[in-house]
A and B are shown apart, each in its own frame.
Chain A
Amino acid sequence: MEAGIISYGAYIPRYRIKPEEIGRVWGEDGAARGKGLGVMAKSVPAPDEDVITIAVEAARNALKRVDIDPKDIGAIYTGSESHPYAVKPTSTVVAEAIMASPDLTAADYEFACKAGTAALQNVLGLVESGIIKYGMAIGSDTSQGAPGDPLEYTASAGGAAFLVGKDGVIAEINGMYSYTTDTPDFWRREGQPYPSHGGRFTGEPAYFRHVLTAAKGMMERMGTEAKDYDYVVLHQPNGKFPRRAAKKLGFSPEQLETGLLTPRIGNTYSGAVPLGLSAVLDAAEPGNRILAVSFGSGAGSDAFDITVTDEMKKFRKERAPLVMDMVNDEVFIDYATYVKYRKKIRRKGD
């Protein structure tokens, strides 16, 4: 298709907590837990950060790298499962904060961890059809695990934004394919602060079935095999699942490595594949081919077949921080500070 990624930007909060520290509080062997999950640390947002501030920072980083008038952005969609408001879209604040308002459409997307890629599909459609000139798709989350729940070792925060257009495309979309079923592997009812999950049920019938089917379906449609790609980015709820899925699909650890951030920052939910893809774009060269497959509980997967173009040579990447710059900018906090930052302490008036 003509529409493609013309810029991207990421944002990761700098605070981190280690599995050892979480395990210390709950009487578990945190180091062993972390090792089992393939996670060394997870990012934690500061008390004044949320999905909106992360989305704005990512969108601004994307805009720094190109010289376009933000007023030409015709749509902003933000995918998240932790929008600060139940009613009042995140995307309205993002639009105002990047000076794209008011002549545009904006909406928020929800589909567990794949809301960001759902937003990307829709923006690509609007640009491809010529209805809008540019569109911004963002995946941003500050996900929460209930205190003491296994999810607490991984649920983290971060996001990335993609600017889509037809001129100056740095990453061409060769094709998209999605696979969706009604699978109750993980959910959160309205008004509940923490999600529930089906335990072991989250693995085979949920993550693996959807990610593997979407990846195979995409490759079938493109007539490709694992060896045709330079990079693969898979949803990464922990460090283990994407490694196992990549292996089953015939990808090498080297193809997966660059876009696998969960070991360092945890599971950023809607931010996960967008951040992984951003890390790959930070490193990729013209001609490189990328397969990206998201996963959202409930359940579904979106696959994208992407080729990096010659425009990447002219792209002003250095105008915004690279993903690894933010991954490496880490300040470790203890569990007490973490529960205060994440507002898990019940206070007077709560």
Chain B
Amino acid sequence: MNMPRFWREIQGRYNLIGSRCGNCGEYFFPKRDICPKCHRKSVGKMETVKFSGRGRIISYSIVHDPHPEYKDMRPYIMAIIELEEGPRLTAQVVDCSPEEVKTGMEVEATFRKLAEDGKEGVIFYGYKFRPLRK
């Protein structure tokens, strides 16, 4: 992971900060400066928003052959999640076994370790998702 780039994106990764187009009302994650639908009409109208972190699983896959960093969690779940405000993102689903995961499952964002740059390097944190606690 590239540290300067990660550092610039910390608000998005920690707090699910995205954008809402003031012209058409659509939400985006990650943050955008211009709405891809409204183009020039959205200039100066993009609002910064914090997503609630609640959403549902649109599709998922069980990863059996992971990046070496993720070996401890194998097999683990990667899912496309639709946030309740609309945008979709890809994230790991934790506190859930491959037997329990389902399409349509309600999930909520949780704060976890994403990676670390070796034993001496920086630790990267950010969002993952877990089954919604009722």
Q: Which residues of A contact B125 (CB under 8 A)?
A: 52-53, 56, 93, 97
On whether the beta carbons of A46 and B111 are closer than 8 Å, the reply is no
On whether the beta carbons of A48 and B94 are closer than 8 Å, the reply is yes
How many interface residues does B have (CB within 8 Å)?
19
On whether the beta carbons of B128 and A48 are closer than 8 Å, the reply is yes
On whether the beta carbons of A57 and B119 are closer than 8 Å, the reply is no
On whether the beta carbons of B123 and A84 are closer than 8 Å, the reply is yes
The answer to whether A60 and B111 touch (CB under 8 A), given A96-B14, A97-B14, A321-B133, is yes
Which A residue's beta carbon lies closest to that of B116? A84
A244–B15 alpha-carbon span in the complex (Å) = 44
Over the window 28-58 of chain A, the binary record of Cβ atoms lying under 8 Å from chain B Cβ atoms (1 yes, 0 no) is 0000000000000000001111101100110
Q: Is B40 an interface residue (CB 8 A)?
A: no
Q: Is B23 an interface residue (CB 8 A)?
A: no
Q: Is B39 an interface residue (CB 8 A)?
A: no
A188–B73 alpha-carbon span in the complex (Å) = 29
Q: Closest Cβ of chain A: how far from B127's Cβ, in Å?
A: 10
Q: Which residues of A contact B119 (CB under 8 A)?
A: 350
The answer to whether A97 and B15 touch (CB under 8 A), given A321-B133, A341-B72, A350-B119, is yes
How many interface residues does A have (CB within 8 Å)?
23
Q: Is B113 an interface residue (CB 8 A)?
A: yes
Quick one: which of B14, B73, B95, B113 contacts A14, CB cutoff 8 A? B95
On whether the beta carbons of A48 and B113 are closer than 8 Å, the reply is yes
* Interface residues in A79-100 (C-beta closer than 8 Å to B): 84-85, 93, 96-97, 99
Quick one: which of B50, B113, B114 contacts A49, CB cutoff 8 A? B113
A350–B10 alpha-carbon span in the complex (Å) = 29
Q: Which residues of B contact A84 (CB under 8 A)?
A: 123
**6 cross-chain pairs, A with B, having the tightest CB-CB distances, nearest first:** A47-B72, A48-B112, A56-B111, A48-B113, A97-B14, A53-B111
Q: Is B110 an interface residue (CB 8 A)?
A: yes
On whether the beta carbons of B95 and A57 are closer than 8 Å, the reply is no
A56–B133 alpha-carbon span in the complex (Å) = 17
